[in-house]
Amino acid sequence: MIRYGIIGTGWIAKAFVDGTLLGEEMRLAAVCSRDASRGEAFAAPYGGAVVYTDPAAMAESDIDAVYIASPNFLHPAQARLFLEHGKHVICEKPITVIPEELEELQALARSRGLVYLEAIMMMHLPARQALREAVSKIGRVTTAHLDFSQLSSKYPAYLAGQTPNIFNPACCTGSLMDLGIYCVYPALDLFGMPEGISASAGFLNTGADGWGTAVLPYPGLQVTLTWSKVGQARQGSQILGDEGTVTVQSISCLTGITRFERDGTVHPIWGEEQKATLMGAEASDFCRYIQNPADTHYQLCQTRALEVSRVMAEIRRLAGISFPGYEEAMT
């Protein structure tokens, strides 16, 4: 049984705990919130978790692992803290802000025999293999358009003049870091590293990117990625071959996958899934890797995370997405 702590008490932290409850490998033993009463309220339904207000104190405790669900700018320092205290780390996306941090922290985890995993659902879902098989059946693929555009629940606050974390460059957030990453992951997972990248973004008056596009060219194939937090897409993603088409309603969850033959014949491939099921899959793999850090899928996740981080950094450079205080402190 892996006894783990959580940092952050947002809805995604609750979804993760609910996901772990589908299995019996992990038990919530600690919660870290800046506010003790918020931590108590989070922990109450699960029973028995110790509440901390300081990550350093939680790192000193006897937990085995931590799930980091704090704002992006805190991920690298918090991961380092827990790795240095001998804890396995599963961290929300993006696992770090810049790829050099990721390389360094991956090396630290390796040197301590610890698991350090980016919480990317699609890498742990059976639908990932089903998507690959569907794409292998549509002939020569020349075009793919992967989209994750979801109107943010925080957009009204932004319009009212506030700066929620998600639209605050000081938190290293914005639409690429929040949603665009979910397009980059399957693009690299399906097609590998591109021959080049072009990218652009649109900005809100907080300085955060609200929407963006990247084009990834491959030999005989062009992959276009689009994402937005200020508009709601309804059509999902499409991969076009000369013998058929694959559509994916949710590119982050790999749900709603359909293959169409050239004549229009429809093959449903994958339906809907509960959020807890999606989160449970990554939690279960995390536990498996802790038992065996040499696991080949864990090694693939490490490589993929670094590739994605490098592509994200290049998209940011090309599109002019910057996180002023953070990046200056890194150089």
Ligand X SMILES: NC(=O)c1ccc[n+]([C@@H]2O[C@H](COP(=O)([O-])OP(=O)(O)OC[C@H]3O[C@@H](n4cnc5c(N)ncnc54)[C@H](OP(=O)(O)O)[C@@H]3O)[C@@H](O)[C@H]2O)c1
Return the number of the residue (4 or 260) whose C-beta is nearest ligand X: 4
Q: Does 285 bind ligand X (CB under 6 A)?
A: no
How many Å separate Cα 250 from the centre of its chain?
14
DSSP letter (8 states) at residue 163: -
Q: What string marks each residue from 115 to 154 as x (binds ligand X by CB under 6 A) or -?
A: ----x-----------------------------------
Question: Per CB under 6 A, does 71 bind ligand X?
Answer: yes
How many CB atoms are closer than 10 A to CB 235? 10
Q: Is 313 helix (H, G, I), strand (E, B) or coil?
A: helix
Residue of closest CB approach to ligand X? 10
The CA–CA distances, whole Å, from 127 to 121, 175, 255 equal: 10, 25, 8
Of 29-37, 97-105, 138-146, 283-291, the window that binds ligand X (rule: CB under 6 A) is: 29-37
For position 101 contacting ligand X by CB under 6 A, the verdict is: no
Out of 3, 38, 137, 304, the only residue in the binding site for ligand X (CB under 6 A) is 38
Strands 198-203 and 209-218: antiparallel
State the CB neighbour count (10 A cutoff) for residue 330: 12
Interaction between residue 12 and ligand X (CB under 6 A): yes
For the chain, report the end-to-end CA distance as a whole number of angstroms.
Answer: 41
Report d(CA 120, CA 15) in Å as an integer: 13
**One of 20, 33, 106, 302 touching ligand X (CB under 6 A):** 33
| Nearer of residues 74 and 134 to ligand X, judged by Cβ | 74
Beta strands (DSSP E) in 48-95 are 50-52, 65-68, 88-92
CA 28, 30, 32, 36 torsion: positive or negative?
positive
Q: Which of 6, 69, 105, 257 binds ligand X (CB under 6 A)?
A: 69
189 binds ligand X (CB under 6 A): no
Q: Cα(172)–Cα(294) distance, rounded to whole angstroms?
A: 32
Least distance (Å) from ligand X to the CB of residue 54? 11
Q: What is the total count of residues that contact ligand X (CB under 6 A)?
A: 18
Identify the residue whose tokens are 């749900």.
255
DSSP annotation string for 201-219: EEE-TTS-EEEEEEEEEET
Least distance (Å) from ligand X to the CB of residue 95?
Answer: 9
What does the angle CA 148 – CA 9 – CA 39 come to, to the nearest 5 degrees?
Answer: 175
Note the Cα 56 to chain centre separation in Å.
Answer: 24
Residue range at the interface with ligand X (CB under 6 A); choices 54-62, 69-77, 104-112, 263-271: 69-77
9 binds ligand X (CB under 6 A): yes
The one among 8, 210, 212, 256 contacting ligand X by CB under 6 A: 8
User: Closest CB to ligand X among 147 and 240?
Assistant: 147
Interaction between residue 72 and ligand X (CB under 6 A):
yes
- C-beta closer to ligand X: residue 74 or 125: 74
**In terms of CB distance, is 74 or 115 closer to ligand X?**
74
Minimum distance between the CB of residue 13 and ligand X, rounded to whole angstroms?
7
Go through 27-40 and write b for each residue having 16 or more CB atoms within 10 A of its CB, e for each that does not: bbbbbbbeeeeebe
Of 18, 178, 209, 273, the one binding ligand X by CB under 6 A: 178
Q: List contacts with ligand X (CB under 6 A).
A: 8-10, 12, 33-35, 38, 69-72, 74, 92-93, 119, 165, 178
